[in-house]
Chain A
Amino acid sequence: MSVIVQDSGFVAEDFTGEWLDLASDTDPSTLAQFAGAAAIRIDFPSFADGRGFTLAKMLRLAGFKGRLRANGHVIADQYAMARRSGFDEVSIDDDLAARQPQDQWLARANWQAHDYQARVRRAATV
């Protein structure tokens, strides 16, 4: 079974629709066709494989407005990265959830704070 992590902590699965699953080696030139999907899961085969963050960003840039989930081996320390890259949530397995319980994820729920990226991308004032 898996555990869903959102800003409020561990939550129960509440999505009943069809997921579109993308591998971490998905060709970025193919992403635009998925922009209208309802929900996309991007696989993280290993926490060290950072491609999913850029894929998420690119899906959002392609206009994808649906639910976006990072699925697999994502560690609590990457929660802010996932949210900042455009993911809504993370899905991890029970073992990882037991090893890194909810409080370790909630510690990164403040992902909007201390964010250099948000800072350098603000609108010009003049």
Chain B
Amino acid sequence: MYSYNDFDEAFVRERVAQFTGQVERRIDGSLTEEEFRPLRLMNGLYLQLHAYMLRVAIPYGTLNPDQMDQLAMLAEKYDKGYGHFTTRQNIQYNWPKLPDVPAMLEALADVGMHAIQTSGNTIRNVTADHFAGAAADEEFDPRPVAELIRQWSTDHPEFQFLPRKFKVAVTGAPNDRAVVRAHDIGLVLKEQNGVKGAEVIVGGGLGRTPMVGKTLNDFVPFADLLPYIEATVSVWNLLGRRDNKYKARIKITVHEHGIEDIRARVDARFAQIKPTFGGIDMEMLAQIEQHFMPPLFIDKPVDAYERAYENDPVFRAWADTNLAAHKNDAYAIVTISLKKPGATPGDASADQMRSMAQLARDYAHDELRISHEQNVILPHVHKSNLPALHAILKSNDLATANAGLVSDIIACPGMDYCALATARSIPVAQGIASRFDELKLEHEIGQLKIKISGCINACGHHHVGHIGILGLDRAGVENYQITLGGDGTETTVIGDRTGPGFAYDEIIPAIERLIYAYLEVRLDSDETFLETYRRLGMGPFKTALYPPKEDKANAA
């Protein structure tokens, strides 16, 4: 894992001191509220519905146990004993007090963490495949490049007052788990003629105008990557619309000018910028790579795992859903679900954080990850340790066997916390998860991604949910639109809207009807919801959602 050098350490300390000064200067009137706002945002501090919210970066989703313990400490000391893991590999504290924030940032700096550029019109926390360095299908570890981009983008003097936010995601596996085609820039690492580089995808995004990213350059060698990304952001900084914040994202710039025009501008800008890079970035990348060497894998039998798998049905159910294939056959990638039915998706208590930190020390080579699906990952667990690990997860209420299933729902905080939200998300997620838990159908339904956003900004990624739910406000009443067939992987598709929305008390029965329709029309239990939708289209699902009037009367 990356650990701060003296430069990084001094930088975050200096930044805390600057922000402490900015808070004081806001209070003494040196900074107007308007001037203070972007300064606090670029340090991760939002003003929410009820209180401030501090969003802490977990760069490319990677944490060590000491960092996780510190997050637990912050939750206990400055929040209400829990934190909320987000869809962009951040953790949010919903109840900090403004005067406490500098101390929180100082405590983060103590463990090599920060909240820099987790908000504001800046280049945000760089995200990556949460299975990085562990997944069986991985070709290139995305973390070193992500760390290099973190360093390049941090406090970039030209890019702190961009037209709008700018998000970068990196993957190095054919199965895209980082939703790179729904980012302002998505990088897919690859190799050409023995040279490592990346496909650069631009202009993806969700929000009110969802778009799938387009390939800007099929292959940019690593040596050109920072100047190429800088050229892209530089072009957009001047060309992006500043007259309408809903049209400011680079996806709109690409849409309005066309990808060829943008490519020509980026190429020209790149030619100007490239000579300003002296080449040390490749040496820095090589040094960063040394931080991401695989752990020393243990060579021992896996009998204990096989015995438990055969004899313990609870363990087996968990293993079947929550384990993913590791590069090393004797190892597994463990998903710890933060989606217990009835709980808030992505929330973890301080005790749970500490228990996960200890599990990482005891069984997982000191590594944890946060997934964009709002779960915690232990990327390297020897299979012989899985039964013991599972037992501890059970005793900490962390053994929910639902990774990738109907109750593993992504949900934004919605109207329970967020100032932008137009509807509640969390209770809808809780309601769906509890309902399917009662029905005991979850494992029969199989792989199904439900994603819920409480407003058009789409933080809950509803456009790329197999079933997406968007909560809106219709004349003061919550109304939930459904989209079907969305996909956030390497075959990214924006879901199709089914038709009129549903009231708060109708949405959970509507989802239930949808899923019963799927169970009825699927070819067999191997055909997933998404595959069935792709085969049959909207027809059977629309019928299930909007039954003819007389049926409704009979049903009532």
Contact = CB atoms under 8 A, between A and B. Distances in A.
B280 A81 contact: no
B265 to A, nearest CB: 9
B290 to A, nearest CB: 16
B159 interface: yes
A47 B152 contact: no
Interface string B1-29: 00000010011001100100110010001
A124 interface: yes
Given A54-B238, A81-B157, A125-B283, A116 B11 contact: yes
Nearest to A111: B157
Interface string B217-237: 000000000100000001001
Contact of A51 (B11, B14, B237): B237
B158 A124 contact: no
Contact of B273 (A53, A61, A104): A61
Chain B CB count within 10 A is highest, among A61, A81, A114, for A114
A106 B512 CA distance: 63
Given A47-B161, A116-B11, A117-B157, A55 B238 contact: yes
Given A49-B242, A116-B11, A121-B276, A126 B283 contact: yes
A75 to B, nearest CB: 5
Nearest to A56: B158
B161 A117 contact: no
Contacts of A58: 234, 272
A2 interface: no
A117 B121 CA distance: 18
Interface in B128-184: 148, 151-152, 154-162
Contact of A121 (B15, B242, B280): B280
A116 B158 CA distance: 13
B35 interface: yes
B157 A84 contact: yes
Contacts of A75: 31, 35
> Which bracket fits the contact residues of A?
35 or more
A28 interface: yes
Contact of B160 (A50, A57, A114): A50
A48 B38 contact: yes
A85 B14 contact: no
B29 A120 contact: no
Contact of A116 (B121, B155, B162): B155
B301 interface: no
A107 B520 CA distance: 68
A28 B154 CA distance: 24
A82 B157 CA distance: 7
Contacts of B160: 50, 53, 78, 81
Contacts of A120: 148, 151-152, 226, 277, 280-281, 284
A21 interface: no
Interface in B303-345: none
B194 interface: no
Given A84-B157, A123-B278, A54 B237 contact: yes
Contacts, number: 111
Contacts of B162: 50
A99 B238 contact: no
A93 interface: no
B458 to A, nearest CB: 24
Contacts of A119: 7, 151, 280, 284
A77 interface: yes
Nearest to A62: B272
B30 interface: yes
A81 B281 CA distance: 21
Contacts of A47: 35, 161
A58 B158 CA distance: 11
Nearest to B281: A120
A4 interface: no
A124 B30 contact: no
Interface in A48-75: 48-51, 53-55, 57-58, 61-62, 75
Contacts of B279: 123-124
Given A48-B161, A50-B160, A122-B280, A114 B226 contact: no
Nearest to B29: A99
Given A47-B35, A50-B162, A77 B276 contact: no
B152 A116 contact: yes
A55 B158 CA distance: 9
B302 interface: no
Contacts of A77: 18, 22, 31, 35, 39
A117 B238 CA distance: 20
Interface in B258-296: 272-273, 276-284
Contacts of A125: 280, 283
Interface string A2-39: 00000000000000000000000000100000000000
B160 to A, nearest CB: 6
Contacts of B31: 75, 77, 100
A120 B277 CA distance: 7
Contacts of B238: 28, 51, 54-55
A50 B239 CA distance: 12
A42 interface: no
Nearest to A85: B157
A50 B280 contact: no
Nearest to B227: A121
Given A61-B273, A122-B280, A54 B158 contact: yes
B161 A53 contact: yes
A76 B279 CA distance: 32
The 5 closest A-B pairs by CB, nearest first: A50-B161, A124-B279, A123-B278, A84-B157, A122-B280
18 contacts: A47-B35, A48-B38, A48-B161, A50-B158, A50-B159, A51-B238, A53-B158, A53-B160, A57-B158, A62-B272, A78-B160, A80-B157, A81-B157, A116-B156, A120-B277, A120-B280, A121-B276, A124-B280
